[in-house]
A and B are shown apart, each in its own frame.
Chain A
């Protein structure tokens, strides 16, 4: 979350408090126009700020409130108890909308409240409007909630289900992603002498509330249709999870290794519905309008759920959590090592459990600190809007994959570089309207931001449909600046790489926006600092695309642990292409540091010599081939120990100058292993080759 957003959050919290106070004063003094003005003003600020800082739902919701209070201001709607009730409920709801994660429960509340509020502005304004015309006025996509249905699902796998590699737990997990669930686990173990360890004796009952069609439930079980008894029955035409008491009641009846029959659940639901006078078809606008008291009841249970469904935590606490998890991963590794070494059978099971839990904890902790790119998009949109006005250009920003999530520290690190890339596109990339029309392009220029996952990386592409970059022009400029000799032959890619050299600015006119001394070299450096890379592709008059390749998270990497003498090093697994065996003889007697592996030639480094490691390399060594861009290079090591999950720690300030290592990690046995930055090793090698 950026600073602007944090500011807005603080501000909005204050505004909502003010709103609440004013509403309470209004209740005592319903005709006081200055209070009404104050309420209107607060709503207006919330709406405006919400839209600008990425709280679209909040903004949209406040818009409806504002409409009603505008009518109040104009004396077209009277202040009465009902109006104040719904507005105060809305105040609570606004607080929920400010939380970073808007849950389905909040969204459902949003839709219902919105309908109620819209009803005010319509009904009180045009007394005769029928309910039906409300329906037409509602935006079908935004205002009618997807209808939730609660199902009772019985999943009773046959004894042999696991014989063909099926893991029923994965299916349960998949099911839980469809909505909210209650799970009842049952097992029917035979007598010990009949127990077949490969057989399954478990079955499950799942109460699922989902807004997905019934087919998607059946789809979960598609592979096991013939290997299990599966029954899916509807128990309630809405979500039972909006009624905590009901959920508790049902939970109480689950367990004891007993199946709770669908009819029994239906009975429980019916009893609850009867006792609480809840209409079953809560989705119907008509019923909502007819029975306001029911809605209120429902709302209160809704907001109860919303309160606990999401909490806001300061980022310090998350950092602390991540640190502790990192420590735990290391400690757990040393526990596993100890147990293995001493062959402690009693501890093996415990150690493995801790390993599993640690892994799950780590994954969960990671997802906590991931933030969708969406948080930046509003800022980018604003930038594009303001700058294109400034330059008199017509540019629209199109985003794709804004829901892609990145570590929060990464989001902070890419904001500036991304802004710079956008400025470049707007200033240099997109032509003026005249130029574009002359070239036969549409008058409106387009900038795309596209984000997607690729392995353990996130790619963010910033592209424009502008004039592109002329390689000849770059070459000419680089020659003028003395960066290259005029007669060197460079590939297109090498020419574009010149753009990333320090002090290379090609703008013909140094403008307000670009000529700020922040060049592409800074972008590249910033991105490389977070172990990412930048790639540029350009076609003249078609456009330019910059691709940022970023690791999803910074603090833990999957690595390959290798041995050199008595030292151990880690090579990030993401760059490892293949591992070959080679004899010490081949490595020592290679010509020009080229080794032939599996019929292909690779340049290579003998790390044992390069790092001046102690001891002798063994007779049989291994060569780890790593890839970077299009290049592959071999790294000869004594031997490969295996894969390891390394918690990356930054190197101390004394080592800041060195470039070959991106960090260090503490191994389970307490030893320190340095993490190789292979891209640096490769570019160093390339430079060496060029000098030779």
Chain B
């Protein structure tokens, strides 16, 4: 049964690159454009992994991660966030908020899938 992954990013190109890679790898993909938008998907659905950007309008990634961790059914669902090499402090902030791991931008498909492999199977 294919796993469902929620991708949250305000950049359309990133969303497309990530969803293309994941769909080709056999995952089902849901797409949210920002934190608020993503929360709609989390209601009553079975999501196996969330991948989110940190900088987004309305609700940013850190807030989204905190919000997800506050939901009972998503306490243990892995969350990966997208970040750049230079944002070391953000990395700690996101981990403290409850993120499982991260993917460094820019990335190639194999890097993305390798990161995924660490958190879902």
Contact = CB atoms under 8 A, between A and B. Distances in A.
Given A170-B117, A223-B100, A455 B1 contact: no
Contact of B121 (A173, A454, A456, A573): A173
B101 interface: yes
A223 B76 contact: no
B119 interface: yes
B47 to A, nearest CB: 11
Interface in A153-169: 162-167
B119 A223 contact: yes
B40 interface: no
A386 interface: no
A299 B75 CA distance: 53
A162 B118 contact: no
A643 interface: yes
Interface residues of B, number: 23
Interface residues of A, number: 22
A220 B114 CA distance: 10
Interface string B91-112: 0000100111110000000000
A645 interface: yes
A165 B117 contact: no
B79 interface: yes
18 contacts: A162-B76, A163-B98, A164-B69, A164-B79, A164-B95, A164-B100, A165-B100, A166-B101, A166-B119, A167-B119, A167-B120, A170-B117, A173-B121, A174-B117, A174-B118, A220-B118, A222-B101, A645-B1
Interface in B17-41: 23-26
Nearest to B100: A165
Contacts of B23: 455
Contacts of B117: 170, 174
Contacts of B78: 164-167
B76 A165 contact: yes
A608 to B, nearest CB: 27
A179 to B, nearest CB: 17
Contact of A170 (B76, B99, B120): B120
A289 B118 CA distance: 43
Nearest to A456: B26
A171 interface: yes
B56 interface: no
A165 B79 contact: yes
B115 to A, nearest CB: 8
A222 B91 CA distance: 12
A168 to B, nearest CB: 10
A391 B117 CA distance: 49
A677 interface: no
Interface of A: 162-167, 170-171, 173-174, 198, 220, 222-223, 226, 454-456, 558, 573, 643, 645
Contacts of B2: 558, 573
B120 A558 contact: no
Contacts of B119: 165-167, 170, 223
| Shortest Cβ-Cβ A-B pairs, 10 listed | A223-B101, A165-B78, A165-B100, A455-B26, A164-B98, A164-B100, A454-B24, A166-B100, A165-B76, A165-B77
Given A164-B100, A165-B119, 10 more contacts: A163-B76, A163-B98, A166-B101, A174-B118, A198-B75, A220-B118, A222-B118, A226-B95, A454-B24, A455-B26
A645 B76 CA distance: 26
Nearest to A162: B76
Nearest to A223: B101
Q: Which of B26, B77, B120 has most chain A Cβ within 10 Å? A: B26
Contacts of A164: 69, 78-79, 95, 98-100
A643 B1 CA distance: 8
Contacts of A645: 1
A170 B76 CA distance: 14
A454 B118 CA distance: 21
